[in-house]
Amino acid sequence: MEFPRRAFLHLAMGAAALPAMPRLSWAQAYPSRPVRIVVGFAAGGATDIQARLMGQWLSDHLGQQFIVENRAGASGNIGTEAVAKAAPDGYTLLQIVTPHAINAALYSNLNFDFMRDIAPVICAARLAYVVVVHPSVPAKTIPEFIAYAKANPGKINYGSAGPGTPQNIACELFKMMAGVDLVHVPYRGGAPAATDLVAGHLQVIFAPVSESIQHILAGKLRALAVTTAARLDVLPDVPTVAEFVPGYEASGFAGIGAPRGTPAEIIDRLNKELNAGLADSKVKARIVELGGTVAGGTPAEFATILSEATEKWAKVIKFAGIKAE
């Protein structure tokens, strides 16, 4: 008996669709249990706050808890390694921040390759640093500060959260482009460095906006410029460094990643939901309060940001001879 052609085509089409059905149903069912977002830094800082902001939105809109897990140490490498080795099932995510683009050049013996082992999901925000000086420093603008530094080579101390941290490389990029000699004084965190700047033991810091804005508003520190390509809404009267040093830009970023191999359907679902969150007025306002600018976009766009930042900071690290502690 001849097998009906129409019946055969129906069977063939159904068979072709079978491999896609488990993936589709998996993505639709995700998440079916709590998800952890690993943050490679201590609780309470801007990185942790950003992660909790995104985690709360996902918890509210995807029906499961997205729990922040702080695994601090080695400039975020401990947490990153844990995620790189986790099952790629969407139930372990990573809060990605600027140090992830720095560490590849800073550390030579990592047990993972960040660009290979972590799949980008979304860049949630671009983050700014602000050049703040103690009021005793006579400079009130970047050109005045450059002139002051050139008149006092090796006598101006700048603080950072440690070698290879964003504050360190942002200032080293400035030194390279402005041709000034500033002395690096590393601390174990940005907060103690800011405390010493307020006390007058340091002269300048390229500080995260979230760590310095209250001191600026209180008049304890003077803001000379922000490091982003454009001025910030939260400090509208403060110019950019690039207005005086053309081409200078040292913005950071905060986003979400997952272990490489995580199903594209799950990454796309997370990306779609987080983009919706970034469009929410309350979420946007909180990011601005933290000194950031809302980003969003596709996983591919975040991959480009990470690649470009990794290449850029590797050049600065090499030029400045920065070594990990």
Give a yes or no: residue 15 inside a domain. Answer: no
Give a yes or no: residue 93 inside a domain. Answer: yes
**243, 268, 302 - which closes a domain:** 243
Same domain? For 182 and 259 the reply is no
Give the pLDDT confidence of 221-251 residue by residue, as tens digits.
999 999 999 999 889 999 999 999 999 999 9
SS3 content of the chain, % helix, strand, coil (to 5): 45, 20, 35
The CATH number that applies at residue 160 is 3.40.190.10
Same domain? For 60 and 209 the reply is no
Same domain? For 123 and 162 the reply is no
Same domain? For 208 and 238 the reply is yes
- CA–CA distances in Å: residue 88 to residues 92, 119, 166, 260, 266: 8, 10, 29, 6, 10
- Which residue segment(s) compose the domain that 187 sits in? 129-243
Structure pTM?
0.86
pLDDT score at 2: 44
Same domain? For 167 and 300 the reply is no
Mean pLDDT of the chain: 91
Same domain? For 235 and 137 the reply is yes
Is 183 a residue whose pLDDT tops 90?
A: yes
**216, 243, 270 - which closes a domain:** 243
pLDDT score at 25: 53
Same domain? For 133 and 235 the reply is yes
Find all residues with CB under 8 Å of 131, minimum gap 6, and list them: 142, 145, 174, 204, 205, 206, 223, 224, 225, 226, 227, 241
Give a yes or no: residue 230 inside a domain. Answer: yes
Same domain? For 232 and 192 the reply is yes
**243, 275, 291 - which closes a domain:** 243
Give a yes or no: residue 26 inside a domain. Answer: no
The CATH number that applies at residue 310 is 3.40.190.150
Give a yes or no: residue 315 inside a domain. Answer: yes
Give a yes or no: residue 193 inside a domain. Answer: yes
The DSSP 8-state label assigned to residue 260 in this structure reads T
pLDDT score at 17: 47
Confidence of residue 214 (pLDDT cuts 50, 70, 90): very high
Same domain? For 137 and 120 the reply is no
Q: Where are the beta strands (DSSP E) in 102-237?
A: 118-127, 129-133, 157-160, 183-186, 204-208, 222-226
How many independent structural domains does the chain possess?
A: 2
Same domain? For 221 and 256 the reply is no
> In angstroms, what is the C-alpha Rg of the chain?
23
Give a yes or no: residue 7 inside a domain. Answer: no
Give a yes or no: residue 325 inside a domain. Answer: no
Same domain? For 123 and 256 the reply is yes
Same domain? For 255 and 235 the reply is no
